[in-house]
């Protein structure tokens, strides 16, 4: 490894990657992914890569501009992720490190960890002291109704997946139940089924609905009420037998700690962007381990699969191929398991032809 490399340059690009199959949720439809791509070049010529997902095109340019502006603060600094993260958190303490600021810090953090692993010529998992191992993955079913959800679930299982997760939160609890049972009929008893309400219910409503599906053998129910209503989730959890899953909308270790202290969730699923990049994930994983909480991920399957290898209580990997078109080597899934052995860095590297095609 070349020691004491400095941050030499940042290259920021924006792309909009269309989804082959638009993904519907109770909150709306996602038909394309607006992404900011960050490349950090070190003084030794190593390039680290990352991407952040802005959810809406309206946030794409502001996020890219903010990352560019941060570049002026960090050029010439040591390419040390922990050092840079602490420097930026201090810099933006009065503004706060959630939202756009958090996304920008995470973009830089992930790119620096990628560069650090590439300096050592190892994968992120090995850099973190872990042995790469297969991670069980589940496929995502959208808000597709009874017939569509069953068909999509069956398609994932035919590809070898042992778990599926569906968006629900229909106009009635009866419809939710019909969707769950249709998927179970389509995939059989051995496949894990999870459901995601995308924060669409009030706590009292959630308790009523979840009681009706409590005997359906679900692996978890995700975000039945607002993500930051920790007491609401805790009250739901106390009344329901099916495990509650939360975490994708918790920003940084502070949100994570407040939520688990409130006993808001049986399981946790950090989003590597919102939790603070690799640095933030490592902190959250340590807290989860101390409390005996199983850890899954939200999106970012390439880097998340490697982080799961280094996470003692790793549970399920959420797999989505939304961003695969712009990757030089998308994550490999074999028999329903994510395979990270042989990956370079975080596993993120660009298919430049595709990037040019989707650049906006």
Mind giving me the DSSP string for 39-65? EEEETTS-EEEEEEE-SSGGGHHHHHH
- The CATH number of whichever domain residue 279 belongs to comes to 3.20.20.120
Question: pLDDT tier at 333 (50, 70, 90 boundaries)?
Answer: very high
What was the pLDDT predicted at 28?
A: 78
Among residues 106, 121, 136, the one where a domain terminates is: 121
Burial of residue 84 (number of CB atoms within 10 Å: 0-12, 13-18, 19+):
buried
Residues 178 and 70 reside in one and the same domain: no
Q: What angle do CA 138, 237, 273 make, to 5 degrees?
A: 45
Q: Is residue 1 part of a domain?
A: no
Quote the tokens at residue 254: 């502070």
Smallest Cα–Cα separation from 311: which of 81, 161, 48, 133? 133
Are residues 147 and 214 part of one domain? yes
Chain segment 136-188, per-residue pLDDT in tens = 999 999 999 999 999 999 999 999 999 999 999 999 999 999 999 999 999 99
In this structure, what is the dihedral angle of CA atoms 64, 70, 72, 77, given to the nearest 10 degrees? Answer: -130
Angle CA 122–109–249, to nearest 5: 115
State the pLDDT at residue 4.
82
Q: Which domain holds residue 42?
A: 7-121
Q: What DSSP designation does 170 have?
A: -
pLDDT of residue 223: 98
Domain contains 37: yes
Catalytic residues: 167, 298
- Closest listed residue to residue 103, CA positions, set 142, 65, 173, 54: 54
- For the chain, the average pLDDT equals 96
Shared-domain flag, residues 117 and 205: no
Q: Backbone phi, then psi, for 201, in 5-degree steps?
A: -115, 155
Q: Does residue 356 sit within a domain?
A: no
Nearest Cα residue to 269 out of 307, 239, 237, 236:
307
Question: 24: part of which helix (H) or strand (E)?
Answer: strand 7-25
Q: Is residue 20 part of a domain?
A: yes
Q: How confident is the model at residue 113 (pLDDT cuts 50, 70, 90)?
A: very high
211 within some domain: yes
3: confidence class by pLDDT, cuts 50, 70, 90? low
Structural domain tally of the chain? 2
Cα separation, 276 vs 159, whole angstroms: 32
> In this structure, are 131 and 114 located in the same domain?
no
Q: Are strands 163-167 and 192-196 parallel, antiparallel or unpaired?
A: parallel
CA distance 273 to 53: 8
Q: Are residues 104 and 142 in the same domain?
A: no
**Residue 77: closest CA among 119, 86, 118, 120:** 86
Flag whether pLDDT at 2 surpasses 60.
no
Neighbouring CB atoms inside 10 A of 60's CB total 20
Cα distance between residue 161 and residue 136, in whole Å: 8
């Amino acid at each position: 490894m070349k020691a004491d490399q400095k941050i030499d340059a940042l290259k920021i690009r924006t792309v909009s990657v269309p989804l082959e199959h638009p993904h519907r949720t109770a909150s709306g439809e996602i038909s394309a992914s607006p992404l900011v791509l960050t490349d950090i070049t070190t003084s030794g010529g190593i390039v680290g890569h990352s991407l952040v997902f802005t959810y809406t095109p309206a946030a794409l340019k502001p996020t890219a501009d903010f990352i560019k502006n941060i570049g002026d603060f960090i050029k010439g600094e040591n390419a040390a992720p922990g050092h840079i993260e602490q420097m930026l958190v201090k810099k933006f303490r009065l503004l706060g490190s959630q939202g756009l600021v958090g996304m920008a810090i995470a973009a830089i953090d992930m790119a620096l960890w990628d560069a650090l692993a590439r300096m050592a010529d190892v994968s992120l998992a090995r850099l973190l002291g872990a042995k790469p191992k297969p991670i069980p993955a589940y496929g995502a079913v959208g808000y597709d109704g009874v017939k569509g959800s069953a068909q999509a679930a069956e398609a994932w299982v035919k590809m070898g997946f042992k778990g599926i997760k569906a968006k629900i939160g229909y106009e009635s609890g009866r419809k939710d139940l019909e969707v769950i049972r249709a998927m179970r009929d389509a995939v059989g008893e051995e496949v894990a089924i999870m459901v995601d309400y995308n924060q669409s219910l009030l706590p009292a409503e959630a308790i009523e609905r979840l009681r009706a599906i409590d005997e359906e053998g679900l692996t978890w129910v995700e975000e039945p009420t607002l993500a930051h209503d920790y007491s609401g989730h805790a009250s739901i959890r106390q009344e329901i037998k099916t495990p509650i899953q939360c975490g994708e909308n918790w920003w940084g270790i502070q949100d994570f700690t407040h939520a688990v202290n409130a006993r808001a969730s049986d399981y946790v699923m950090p989003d590597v962007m919102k939790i603070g990049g690799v640095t933030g994930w490592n902190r959250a994983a340590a807290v989860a381990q101390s409390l005996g909480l199983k850890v899954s991920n939200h999106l970012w399957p390439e880097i998340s699969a490697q982080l799961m290898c280094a996470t003692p209580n790793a549970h399920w990997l959420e797999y989505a191929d939304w961003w695969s078109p712009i990757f030089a080597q998308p994550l490999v899934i074999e028999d329903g398991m994510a395979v990270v052995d042989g990956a370079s860095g975080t596993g993120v590297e660009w298919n430049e032809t595709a990037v040019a095609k989707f650049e906006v």
